[in-house]
Amino acid sequence: MSRLWRWLIPLATVPVLALLAYGFRANPRDTPSPLAGRPAPRFALATLDGAPLALEAHRGKVVVVNFWASWCYPACYEEAPVLERSWRAYRGRGVVVVGVDIQDKPEAAQKFVRDFGLTFPNAQDPTGTVSVDYGVYGVPETFFVDRQGRIRVKHVGAVTDDVFRETVDRLLAEAAKP
Amino acid sequence: MSREWLRRLAAPVLVLLVSVAAGAQPPAAPVSEDTVHEVATQLRCVVCQSLSVADSPSEMASQMRGIIRARLAAGERPAEVIQYFVDRYGEWILLAPRRRGFNLLVWLFPLVAVATGLVLVATIVRRWTRRRRDGVAAPVNVDPAMSERIRREMERGT
């Protein structure tokens, strides 16, 4: 028995160490969103200009829902020009970009929109209901919604031109098929 | 206490009882902050490290408490409110993992570790005591001539 135990006891610590190594190295923010593939939660907000903004109004289009805040520096400041560029390039092809400003002051949000010359609709989520409906952890987070109104991709961090183009092109190509 | 006194007291007491009874009815009841707190303590604040929604001073947590309050006010049970958050954030949002599947490891491992430790200590202690007993029993095997000599020398010494 003693020879077996001399090996077994150190060996028993291996799975425990492996579990701890995995657990401590994993980023707690990298948990997959349970919303992927599920219908995008509906919302009806008012844009910073006071116009109504409802997800329902854009059914049948590829919708890019971007959560941002004026205090989210630098990531939101990096992606704002990307979103504006992409929106201008794709708006004629059945793509809508929608900005949802969270945990922010209206004046700061309006200044952000003005500074970047954003022309796509941006609305504030004053109660946080839309953020929680989408399972938002922080900003920026971007949800790509297909023409059937399902969330297909959740992107955490600043959106780049490549990410926008690849994801939206894929959803547009897929929707074109019968 | 006179009868007049009783009559004067009766009206306010009656009003109080009726209002308490009305308040106890579920649809009219405002959401108790204790229930909001109880739900909030079970949820992880998404913008914090290891803080519950009840304990975090962040704006996100305060908005989440508002959502909990609103859903409870709409007639949802606490378990349904928690499920709403789990559906959006996954089980990550729960501060204590649910007791099923792989998660059971978290609940069972400490018990297994304690049990293993007890067995280990028991085995080692038994081995030590057995060795001690062997040590005491050893003189039995001493050569009779030798023990006779020891006895004689001890007697001579006294």
Find the helix packing angle between A75-90 and A161-176, rounded to 10°.
40
Residue A9 predicted with pLDDT over 90: no
Per-domain boundaries in chain B = 3-98, 103-157
Residue B139 reports pLDDT greater than 60: no
CA distance B19 to chain A (A): 32
- A155 inside domain: yes
Domain count of chain A? Answer: 1
Considering A38-42, B1-5, B133-137, the range whose residues carry the highest mean pLDDT is A38-42
Give residue-wise pLDDT tens across range A35-76. 989 999 999 999 999 999 999 999 999 999 999 999 999 999
Q: Which residues in chain B have their CB less than 8 angstroms from residue A135's CB?
A: 88-90
- Among all residues of chain B, which has the CA nearest to that of A1? B123
For residue A108, being part of any structural domain is answered with: yes
Percent of chain A topping pLDDT 70:
94
pLDDT at A32: 73
Residue A65 φ/ψ, nearest 5 degrees: -100, 115
**Tens-digit pLDDT profile for residues B28-66:** 467 899 999 999 999 999 888 889 999 999 999 999 999
Tell me, yes or no, whether A66 lies in a domain: yes
Q: What is the pLDDT of residue A95?
A: 96
Tell whether A135 is covered by a domain: yes
Q: Hey, what's the torsion of the CAs at B48, A159, A152, B40, to 10 degrees?
A: 10
Q: What is this model's ipTM?
A: 0.83
- Average confidence score pLDDT of chain A: 91
Per-residue pLDDT reduced to its tens digit, A125-149: 999 999 999 999 889 999 999 999 9
Chain B, nearest residue to A130 by Cα? B67
Position B3 scores a pLDDT of: 56
Give the range of the structural domain holding residue A141, as residue numbers without chain letter. 33-176
CATH assignment of the domain containing A122: 3.40.30.10
On whether residue A6 sits in a domain, the answer given is no
What phi, psi does A118 have (nearest 5°)?
A: -70, 130
Closest chain A residue to B66 measured between Cα atoms? A127
Q: What is the pLDDT of residue B102?
A: 81
Model pTM greater than 0.80? Answer: no
A31 interfacial to chain B (CB closer than 8 Å): yes
Report how far residue A51's alpha carbon sits from residue A2's, in angstroms, rounded to the nearest whole number. 78
pLDDT at position B22 is: 46
Chain A interface, best mutation among B43, B44, B45, B46, by max A CB count within 10 A: B46
- Any domain includes A132: yes
Integer Cα distance of B124 and B118 in angstroms: 10
> Which of these CATH numbers, 1.10.8.640, 3.30.300.30, 1.20.1730.10, 2.160.10.10, describes B3-98?
1.10.8.640
Q: Is residue A173 very low, low, confident or very high in pLDDT (cuts 50, 70, 90)?
A: very high
Interchain contact, A136 vs B92, CB within 8 Å: no
Q: What is the pLDDT of residue B18?
A: 45
Q: Does A133 touch chain B (CB under 8 A)?
A: yes
pLDDT for A120 = 97
B96-134 pLDDT per residue, tens: 888 888 888 888 889 999 999 999 999 999 998 887 666
Q: Is the pLDDT of residue B6 over 60?
A: no
Q: What band does B136 get if pLDDT is binned at 50, 70 and 90?
A: low
